[in-house]
Amino acid sequence: MDKLKIYKYSTLVIAFILAAYLINSIKFSIDDEARISNAEEKIINKLKMIREAQIAFQNVNGKFTDNWDSLINFVDSGKIYIIQRREETTLLEYGAEETVLYLDTLGNVSVMDSLFSNYPKFISKNLKNVPGYENVFFKMWASKIEKGGVLVNVVEVRNPKPIDPDRSEANEANIHKPLRFGSRTSITTAGNWE
């Protein structure tokens, strides 16, 4: 009878230890996914800010930049012109239409006020920093490529040190590569998280 009680109690203790181990490993997995998701959300928000700055830079200067100092200086002191566009269409005698396009510059606004006024703690010099890491910066590339016989401006900004261990440059699918926007081969500023 004593051996049966020892067996029951030892089996009960082993069952509790095993249950605690399983619960702890599942909780660790869930917590790790939440940590990765939270960190990637911060990186995506930073990439969206960089994309807005790059598009504004390209609109003003006619090209993207691959230099952080140029982009940060543009954010700090650059101006975006407010342009009103209007068209006048006149009907010609032989049934055709003639359209005249008028572009009027109404003024300008600073890049900081235009793009980053919704971010209360925005510091432009931290734009290049990857959130969650110290002294790790986004990799930025800008150039021109030929598409359809025409040279077009392209940009790519990517996270060089992914938080998610499953994200790798070797992955076939773009959504499983490190977080980025733009492309070196296509005319796009879309992010791979979209």
Q: What are the sequence ranges of the domains in the chain? A: 38-75+123-182
User: Distance between CA 70 and CA 74 in Å, rounded?
Assistant: 6
pLDDT band at 48 (very low <50, low <70, confident <90, very high): very high
Residue 109 has which token pair? Answer: 């606004």
More confident residue, 171 or 89: 89
pTM: 0.76
Tens of pLDDT along 106-161?
A: 888 888 888 888 888 888 888 888 888 888 899 999 999 888 888 899 999 998 88
Radius of gyration of the chain (CA): 27
Q: Is 10 left (phi over 0), alpha (psi -120 to 50) or beta?
A: alpha
User: Distance between CA 128 and CA 10 in Å, rounded?
Assistant: 57
